[in-house]
Amino acid sequence: MNQGERRLQHQARLEQINRMQRVTGTGDFAHVDHEGTTIERARMLDEEICAHEATERGLAAFERLLQLAELPESPHARAAAELLAAVWRDEPLSLRRLRGLELGLGDDMVAVIDAFRHARLSLADQVDGGGIRLARALRVWQGHQT
């Protein structure tokens, strides 16, 4: 799925949220709760916009970290590879890994974690080359680790 397709999916969710109505009561006493509908729509819209923005930021950061992990001679390749492995393979990652990094690298790592938290898709599948490229980069990194 490319960025345009993700944007279309996001727009469809926004339209679906705008059509939502909160109904209270049952049977003959059911009615639309206009105030509740407005509040719930606002909450859902905020959640959707936050998820979409976090996903797009995280995917850009994921791509940069993957490029870094593909360069095992880089001093930060290990940190990038460990985070990507944790996100992709659901492996544990020590939060200490986020300390002492260059500002941009740390920001990218946090953006990927935020996208992982909010995304409704697999981050690795959304970058060019997907899981195959990521697996290759992680194998290269693991080969340099020994």
Tell me the pLDDT of the chain (146 aa) as tens digits. Answer: 788 888 998 899 899 988 888 888 888 888 888 888 899 999 999 999 999 999 999 999 999 999 999 987 888 888 999 999 999 988 888 888 888 888 899 999 999 999 999 988 889 888 888 888 898 888 876 655 54
Domain count along the chain: 1
Beta strands in the chain (DSSP E): 23-24, 31-32
Q: In the prediction, which pLDDT does 146 show?
A: 41
What residue numbers bound the domain in which 67 lies? 3-145
The dihedrals phi and psi of 119, each to the nearest 5 degrees, come to -65, 150
Which class for 90: exposed (0-12), middle (13-18), buried (19 or more C-beta within 10 A)? exposed
Separation between Cα atoms, residue 33 and residue 36, nearest integer Å: 5
Look at residue 97 and give its three-state secondary structure. helix
Could you give the CA distance from residue 93 to residue 83 in angstroms, rounded to a whole number?
7
pLDDT of residue 143: 59
pLDDT of residue 68: 92
